[in-house]
Amino acid sequence: MKKIIMLTIMGICAILCFVGCENGKKPGKTIEEGQQNIESQEENVAEHSVLQENEPEEIIVPEVYHYNESGKIIIAMYHKFTSGTESDEWTRSFDNFYQDLEYLYEHGYRSVSLHDYLNNEMKVPVGCTPIVFTFDDGSKGQFHLIEAEDGSLIADPESAVGVMERFYREHPDFGLNGTFFINGTGYFGSTGTRAQKLQYLIDKGFEIGNHTNTHVNFSKASIDEIQKEIGVVVKDVAENANGYVVDTLALPFGITSKEYADYIRSGEYEGTRYENKVVLLVGANPALPVSNEDVNLMRLPRVRARGGNKEVECDLYWWLERMEKNPEMKYYRLEN
């Protein structure tokens, strides 16, 4: 009998923890933890029902998320960053990047990872809209390490990662997510080893994606070259980040191979197999959710977060403003 009481108390604690975590620091991860609690509770319930066959079984229904399925998701695309003025449309200043995050937060966007999108697990609060951040080319402005006073390596506050970390400290419910599409020839400045740089990002919850070894133009590449360009990055990251599997690709220049697209999706290089779950374009629209049968994950569009003052059709604010005027365009979470 004592055991039954203990199990019941444990079950209640698991429920309370799950509810309390719902609006916690990291929406996706927190819910996962919550689900683990539910699983452990289900085990308790199973054991409980063996002990007390006459009592009705308690059925735990996991939380279901409903979205405005006619809406689309912005996969924002960034390239270079600067502490100065934005010299071209591919460069965002740190101040303007911070303002992008503020605008998004105030307009009900919450960040999710690319894998949250791919797994259809974008667990944002009711009324909020998920957004995915992506960064191409592994530039130093996106992320580089500096030595802290205690000797540890941290992200420079003057980097996109530094800005996101600061924003996350100030707005924990925004989430801390982004995928960095790197080239094998080098990434993220010269401080720290490849392993230290990759592991820092992964430990913070960021993702690493493939942007090919030499930023190749796939339309001019042979089958062997395509496999080498993709395989080298997959191998490099696996070796330097404890077997981390790179399974997302952003097309350099947004250009694919008409003849050999199958090898961009999957292939092998020197014994390293790869399989890309998504291939991202450079422009220029919000993406369909994976639940939509028309979604093409091998040609998934992104929206450019533009630098400079010009407003350009199909860039980030062009879309954001249209979505504010037409909220049905947003893939926002509905009441359950």
Distance CA 173, CA 156 (A): 22
x-or-dash string of contact with Zn ion, 252-271, rule CB under 5 A: x-------------------
x-or-dash string of contact with Zn ion, 13-52, rule CB under 5 A: ----------------------------------------
Classify residue 254 by its DSSP letter.
Answer: G
According to DSSP, the β-strands at 248-250 and 145-147 are: unpaired
Q: Which of residues 121-150 bind Zn ion (CB under 5 A)?
A: 136-137
When the beta carbons of 107 and 215 are compared against Zn ion, the nearer one is 215
Only one of the segments 66-74, 84-92, 96-104, 249-257 lies at the binding site for Zn ion (rule: CB under 5 A); that segment is 249-257
When the beta carbons of 116 and 136 are compared against Zn ion, the nearer one is 136
When the beta carbons of 96 and 212 are compared against Zn ion, the nearer one is 212
When the beta carbons of 103 and 253 are compared against Zn ion, the nearer one is 253
Question: Terminal CA-to-CA distance of the chain, rounded, Å?
Answer: 37
For residue 242, the minimal CB distance to Zn ion (Å) is 26
When the beta carbons of 44 and 142 are compared against Zn ion, the nearer one is 142
When the beta carbons of 78 and 263 are compared against Zn ion, the nearer one is 78
Size of the site for Zn ion (CB under 5 A): 3
Query: Minimal CB distance to Zn ion: which residue?
Result: 136
* Residue 236 binds Zn ion, judged by CB under 5 A: no
For residue 172, the minimal CB distance to Zn ion (Å) is 31
When the beta carbons of 27 and 252 are compared against Zn ion, the nearer one is 252
For residue 213, the minimal CB distance to Zn ion (Å) is 12
CA distances from 265 to 91, 212, 316 (A): 29, 13, 27
Helical H runs in the chain? Answer: 2-21, 27-51, 94-106, 114-118, 160-170, 194-203, 223-240, 261-265, 316-325
Only one of the segments 19-27, 103-111, 115-123, 247-255 lies at the binding site for Zn ion (rule: CB under 5 A); that segment is 247-255
Q: Which of residues 74-103 bind Zn ion (CB under 5 A)?
A: none
Residue 266 token pair: 């999957």
Distance CA 49, CA 229 (A): 55
Question: Do residues 80 and 92 touch, judged by C-beta distance below 8 A?
Answer: yes
Give the phi and the psi of residue 147 in degrees, each rounded to 5: -85, 125
The three-state DSSP-derived secondary structure of 94-123 is HHHHHHHHHHHHHCCEEEECHHHHHCCCCC
When the beta carbons of 80 and 228 are compared against Zn ion, the nearer one is 80
**Exposure of 297 in the CB half-sphere (CA atoms within 13 A):** 19
List Cβ neighbours of 258 (8 Å cut-off, separation of 6 or more).
Answer: 219
List Cβ neighbours of 173 (8 Å cut-off, separation of 6 or more).
Answer: 23, 25, 27, 110, 125
For residue 283, the minimal CB distance to Zn ion (Å) is 13
For residue 253, the minimal CB distance to Zn ion (Å) is 7
For residue 18, the minimal CB distance to Zn ion (Å) is 41
Q: What single letter denotes the amino acid at residue 205?
A: G
For residue 79, the minimal CB distance to Zn ion (Å) is 7
Distance CA 155, CA 161 (A): 7
For residue 145, the minimal CB distance to Zn ion (Å) is 22
When the beta carbons of 26 and 211 are compared against Zn ion, the nearer one is 211
* Binding residues for Zn ion (CB under 5 A): 136-137, 252
